[in-house]
Amino acid sequence: MKVIIVGCGRVGATLAYLLAKKGHRVTVIDLVASAFGNLPPDFVGRTIEGEVLNQGMLHRAGIEQADALIALTSSDSLNAVICHVARTRFRVPRVIARNYDPAWLPLLEAFGLQTVSSALWAAQHIEEMLASTMTPVLSTGHGEVEVYEMAIPHSWVGKQVSEVLAANSIAVSLTRAGKAVLPTPSTVLEEGDMMHVSATLEGAAELQAQLQKEEQKAKS
């Protein structure tokens, strides 16, 4: 896959390195040459210094053949413009824009862009960690769907997975005696099981409320 990354800060440099290590052809663009110092010495991709919207810059990066473009600059408006141009003018199949200021998120969404909002995700993640007995381990989109790790309460032992999960949640993994398996709705839960559950925000709230009730019963 041929990937163009605009912005060589810590996130851009890390992403570029990871993709290059996996064999993808990576080109990194940044306005400041010193930003390329964020790249590890063994980075094997291309680097181009200059203003990304200057005439010819995207052509130099090979955008006509690009499979993906990710805009990771510190400017939300610039990220929106770059991705919009890449998608509408050059028909790049995958474009992703990083969102810094949540106030700018409606603009990015108005362009119909796939976005990654680090500030919004971090805030939601911390809030959930404070309020929940379930531990979030993976978030998708802007946090609309997450994967949680949870210990099976004693009251669930002997019940099937389908009996204990909320409507907007799905069991994706069950670890028992150190071995992970793919659970089915009819899997019977045992003492000491650890389950990973994928849930929407609504499903997670329902499941959390259910767990709190179980805790209160156990204490009474």
pLDDT per position as a tens digit, 117-168: 776 666 665 665 555 567 878 888 777 888 988 888 888 899 999 998 878 8
Please give the full DSSP string across 52-75, using - where no structure is assigned: TTSTTHHHHTTGGG-SEEEE--S-
Cβ-contact 72, 83 below 8 angstroms: no
> What DSSP designation does 152 have?
P
Model pLDDT, residue 53? 87
Model pLDDT, residue 121? 61
Model pLDDT, residue 178? 86
Strand pairing category for 2-6 and 25-30: parallel
Q: What are the phi and psi torsion angles at 90 (to 5°)?
A: -105, -5
Does 2-117 carry CATH code 3.10.580.10?
A: no
The domains of the chain are located at 2-117, 132-219
pLDDT of residue 22 exceeding 60: yes
Tokens of 141: 């989109």
User: In CATH terms, are 2-117 and 132-219 the same topology?
Assistant: no
Question: Of 51, 52, 70, nearest to 12 (Cα)?
Answer: 70
Model pLDDT, residue 133? 64
Confidence of residue 93 (pLDDT cuts 50, 70, 90): very high
What does pLDDT average to over the chain? 87
Q: Give the separation between CA 141 and CA 105, rounded to whole angstroms.
A: 12
Q: Give the separation between CA 115 and CA 205, rounded to whole angstroms.
A: 24
Is the pTM value of this prediction over 0.75? no
Model pLDDT, residue 127? 62
CATH number attached to the domain at 132-219: 3.30.70.1450
pLDDT per position as a tens digit, 169-185: 999 999 998 899 999 99
